[in-house]
Every structure is written in structure tokens, then in C-alpha cells.
Amino acid sequence: MYVNIAFIGYGTVAQGFTEILLEKESMLKKEHDLQVKVVAVSDIKKSSVYDADGLNMREILSLVQNGKSLEDYPKGIKGKNSLETITQTNADTIIEVTYTDVKTGKPALTHIKTALDAGKHVLSTNKGPAVKQAAELLETARQNNVYYGFEGTVLAGTPALNLARNTLAGNNIMGFKGILNGTTNYILTRMEEGMSYQEALKKAQKLGYAEADPTGDVEGLDAAGKVVILTNVVLKKKLDWSDVRREGITGITPDDIQKAKNQHMRWKLIGQAEIQKDGSVRASVSPEKVPLSDPLAGVNEAINALTFITDELGPVTIVGPGAGRRETGFALLIDLIQMKDYRKQKDLKETGHLKTKN
């Protein structure tokens, strides 16, 4: 299958994904029947370039990584803005990875809606739109017969949505519970070793795990966003940001840590949701003392983990990275392969040639 890609936003995740596409080109063709051409790149700071025959992505990477503008690319059409790139190019698949306000979801939300309405598939690692409107966007995609993939919004490239929807298919998933934020897990790991909260936060900032304003991580906002996405998509229950009871890790003291140790327990920032008997959902993000016998207790450093509560298998847990340039870029590859399967199934339905035996 041939795929024509346009990047909307060309920051670190987009660049990581580009490297993966270049390095894995022959594997993708051989094992997944995927031949990918990048026809456009549009970035608010780096300008934009479009070539219907495909761009030389090694050259694009080199330009961008040397701080140059996309205007310096020797061929192609320059100056298309993001919406023009979405609607006025021969891209069939939009990779939406702009720098976006996670609260309003803009500008990514506008990009994604525009693309879906234009009949283009969308793969995005942007949390904002998925938190605000995952269900609505999936419905818009369905109506337009296109694919909307957002695996990277939960645990970066560690398969969370794909695990629940495909690998655990056949199970009824009644809830989930996880370590959904790497920064806070890193801070708690250092506090276990004796650091104060402030020391641990400083170290996390130095390593680039935490931002200058760490509120989004340490107050549990980031984890709450993931709880919202998982609840809407995996539990298939409507949940808004404001429905999540939320408490961060800023109140945890060395004394709390020590007391938990004495009880063979360990503090973790746990994001969770569970379908109640009356069909409603109870969702929260809060620090919890987890017994050392729980698989989540063994997940330390910036690593993430997610346990799905299933009817057939009981708890099933996946543990892996939850952030990183290549790791998040890889989530787009998961979505790309899923999109291919979706398109093949769609073609199959349209041609009506599915043989059935009875």
C-alpha cells in the first residue's frame, strides 16, 4: 500500500518518526506492504514545503537539524500554511504533531477536524484533542471513512490503546490502573532513595523530564488527561477532565515515604478508572501506597505501566517507556500499521469479495 504523508508540525517527535521511516523503509515494505512518501512538511516556525512527487527526507532532516528554514529546500512549493497543506496537497495521511495547548487542544483540534472532514487519515500524538474529543473525533473519522490514530497520547510508543483494542480483544475491560506519568514516577523513585521532593524535582528538570513549570506533571494533570482518553476509548464511557478526582505528588514528604517503606509499600501516582455496577465511572489520579507485591510497585524511574482489568484474564499489565523522541515517534508507526489494516479492511468491504463458508 502506498501512503502519502504530510507533517503538520515538525518538532522532535516528527523528526524521530522520520528517522524511523528512513531506517525501516525496506522492513516496512517487505513485512507490512507499506511504501511511504512524505509529500509535505508544514511547521509554524520552520515554514513549509510541498512536493507531490515526494520530498527527500534526509535533506529535510539535515536542514531542520541545522537550524535552517524549509524555504531552503531546493525544490517544491513553499509557503502553504497548515490548513492549506492539509487540504490542498496530495497527502492522504496527516501526521498532526504541532505544539498544542493541552487544555484547549488548539491548534491541533482544528487541524485534525479539517483533515478528517477532507477525507484524510490522521495520526497524531497530540494529547489535547484526544482528551477533549476522542469519541467525537473517532465518530467524525467513521463518518468520513478514514482512520484517526492517537496511540502516542497515552504511553508514547508502548502499546496501550492498541493492546486494549486489538491484543486483548475478546475480553471485557472493566477498568484500568496505571503509572501514567514518567516525570512523577522519576521523582518518587529518587525520593525513595532519600532525596527531598524539591531535590528530586530539580534533578528531573535538569534531565529534561520535568519542565520549568512542572505543574502539569506534579499536580497530576497529564495523568488525568490519559485517564480521560483511556476511559473514553477503552471503557467506552463518556468522561471529561473535570470528572477526574485529582491529587498530585507535591504533598508527599520523606516521612510518608519512610512510613510506606516500613509497611512494605511504595508511593506511586496512580491514574485509574473503573466502571461501577450502575454503569457510571469512577476516575481518579492520586498518590497511593502500593504493596511491593503489586507489579506496579516494581515500575521505577521514568517508566510507565498500565494494568487493564479484564473479565477473562484478570489483571494484565504492560510496562514500557512513556515518553521520548523516538519512543513517541514510534507510536506513529503503530498507528500507521493500524491504519493500513483499516484501509485494507475497508477496501475488502467495498469490493464485497469476502468469501464466507457455512
Site of interaction with its own copies (CB under 8 A): 1-2, 4, 20, 24, 27-28, 31-32, 92, 157-159, 162-163, 166-172, 292-301, 303, 305, 307, 312-321, 326-327, 330, 333-334, 337, 341, 344-345, 347-348, 350-351, 353-358
Residue 58 or 344 having the CB closest to its own copies:
344
Smallest gap from Cβ 163 to its own copies, in A, equals 6
Residue 63 or 309 having the CB closest to its own copies:
309
Catalytic residue at 226? Answer: yes
- Single-letter code of the amino acid located at 64: V
Do 154 and 160 meet the contact criterion of CB atoms below 8 Å apart? yes
Active-site residue, from 80, 120, 226, 340: 226
Residue 262 or 356 having the CB closest to its own copies:
356
Residue 213 or 353 having the CB closest to its own copies:
353
- CA neighbor of 167 nearest in space, from 21, 317, 281, 273: 317
Smallest gap from Cβ 294 to its own copies, in A, equals 7
Residue 32 or 289 having the CB closest to its own copies:
32
Smallest gap from Cβ 338 to its own copies, in A, equals 9
Q: State the Cα–Cα distance between residues 254 and 207, nearest whole angstrom.
A: 22
Smallest gap from Cβ 183 to its own copies, in A, equals 18
Smallest gap from Cβ 290 to its own copies, in A, equals 9
Give the residue numbers annotated as catalytic, written as ranges: 226
